[in-house]
Amino acid sequence: MCFSIAVDKNIHKLSNFFGAQLSPQNTKSIQKLFTAQKEMPQRDFEKLIGLKASKKRSEPFKFPTEDGKVFPHYFAPVIVDRGEQRLIEEMRYRIRPFGSKEEVPSKFNLYNARLDSLLERKTWQSLFMRNHGLIPFVKFYEWVPGPDQKAKLISFFPENRETMWAPCLWDEWISKDGRLSFKSFAIITDDPPLEIEQMGHDRCPIFLKEEFIERWLNPQKENTKEVLEMLKHKEAVTYQYSWVD
């Protein structure tokens, strides 16, 4: 799995690097969602978005932390293609399926999509070859056995690369009354390179080759076999790691 990531919060930098612009429509939807979270009575908001009622005031939707960390249910900038225009849209990290009446229980991993399950798992089948995106980040985190064999958080990052990116699948959820909506994504992962496997982690986000970005974002121009082959060809990088205190 990819437990969490750290993103670059400099949208201007991402815009220049990927040749993408912020989506005004997406920005408006996110502002509306967070305003409702803040101003609506808690039970009304929880009912509207399909959450179990909680006694304490909670904020299920969050933006990256000050240092850019994104955990499941946090929002992060995702690159998508809309015809001839490439856009940056804020999406939640963990898929909320279209038409779902309530949140899928947390025991189900809907924030990572295994490469070998894209054609097999129902959730991914409906999105693969249709809703493709790219999530830029600088690090990813996972729990692995530490030097003392106790679970410890570790961060991985590519050597001599400031930014990495992974292909992702996304979906859009709309409330029954149409008042609120948001998009959400899952990172596509595959078997890890040796240096990550040696540190006790059995998965790794796919670092898609830069030459395949345009084709990945426009799957309607490709066939399934070609796209799966693209995902198997990753950027040639070596990963470094750092234990998290």
CATH number for position 194? 3.90.1680.10
pLDDT at residue number 1: 59
Q: How many domains does the chain have?
A: 1
Domain hosting residue 149, numbered range: 4-243
pTM for this predicted structure: 0.94
Q: Give whole-number Cα distances, 201 to 1, 37, 73, 204, 242, in Å.
A: 8, 36, 22, 8, 13
The answer to whether the beta carbons of residues 127 and 96 sit under 8 Å apart is no
Tokens of 44: 């009304």
| pLDDT tens, residue order, the chain (245 aa) | 567 999 999 999 999 999 999 999 999 999 999 999 999 999 999 999 998 877 777 789 999 999 999 999 999 999 999 877 999 999 999 999 999 999 888 778 899 999 999 999 999 999 999 999 999 999 999 988 877 888 889 999 999 999 999 999 999 999 999 999 999 999 999 999 899 988 878 889 999 999 999 999 999 989 999 999 999 999 999 999 999 87
